[in-house]
Amino acid sequence: MRTPIIAGNWKMHKTVDEAICLTRELKEALKDIKDREIVICPPFVALHALKAELEGSNIKLGAQNCYFEDEGAYTGEVSPVMLKDLGVEYVIIGHSERRGYFNETDELVNKKAKALLKKGLKPIICVGESLEQREASETESVVKKQVFRDLDGIEPYRIKDIVIAYEPIWAIGTGKTATSEEANRVISIIRDTVKEMYSEKEASLIRIQYGGSVKANNAHEILTQSEIDGALVGGASLQTDSFTAIVKY
C-alpha cells in the first residue's frame, strides 16, 4: 500500500522566528502520527533553522523550488546540493505559481526532477489545468501532456521516489475545490498515464496528491478517495489547528 503524504506549502509566508514557532506547535500536535508522511515546506530562509527543530521528529523538511545545476553563476537560485546539505528530503517543483509568474516550462521541471533524483532528493511535481482549459474540456489532455513531459527520460526505478500533486490552477487560493469524485478521476488519469509510460508496477508505486484549497472541512472527503494519496496544502498549512486536522483526516 502507498503511504499517504501530507505536505504543507508555506509559500512566501513566515519569518524565521514565526516558522520556528509554528514548527514547534506542529511537532507537539502531530507527534503520535505514524501511518502517513508529514512534510513542511517553508521559505528558503527558514530551512536551516527548521533542520535543527525537526531533528528526531516525525515531520520531514521540504523546499518550495530549486535549480537544476549543482553550482554556478545563477544569481538568486538554490541548488539540490545546498538543499540536501540542509536536511531537505522533498522539493516542490512545477507549481502553477512558478509556471505562471516565472514562466517555468515542463522542460525545466523535467530537468529539475532529474537533478533532484540524482542527489537523492524527492520531487513533488505539480500538474494541473487552468479554468479556461477546464471549461474547454481539456483537463485530461493538458494533465497527460504535463505528466509525459515532466517524467520524460526518468528511469522506472526512480518513480517510487516521485510524488505528483494534481493542483487544478483554478482551485489554488480561490476557495474553490474540485469535487472529491472529480479529483479522484483526474488522479486516476494521471496514474494511467504513468502506467502507459512505464508499467503497472510503477503506476501502483507512485503517490499522487491533490492540492487546491484543501481545508480541514473537506480533507476527509478528498483524502479517502481510492486514488488520492495525500494532499499538498497551501493556506491551511499556515495554522497549527487547520494543518493538524488535515493530517489527521
Nearest to 64 by CA among 119, 26, 121: 121
Distance CA 98, CA 105 (A): 9
Distance CA 184, CA 4 (A): 15
95, 97, 129, 227: the active-site residue: 95
Strands (E), the chain: 5-9, 37-41, 59-63, 90-93, 122-127, 163-166, 207-211, 230-233
37, 97, 167, 202: the active-site residue: 167
Cell of 194: 504513468
Distance CA 183, CA 179 (A): 6
64 neighbors 9 (Cβ within 8 angstroms): yes
Residue type, 224: T
Active site residue 167: yes
Please spell the DSSP secondary structure of 62-119, one letter per residue. EES---SSSSSS-TT---HHHHHHTT--EEEES-HHHHHHS---HHHHHHHHHHHHHT
Active site residue 95: yes
Q: What is the DSSP letter of 161?
A: G
Which residues are part of the catalytic machinery?
A: 95, 167
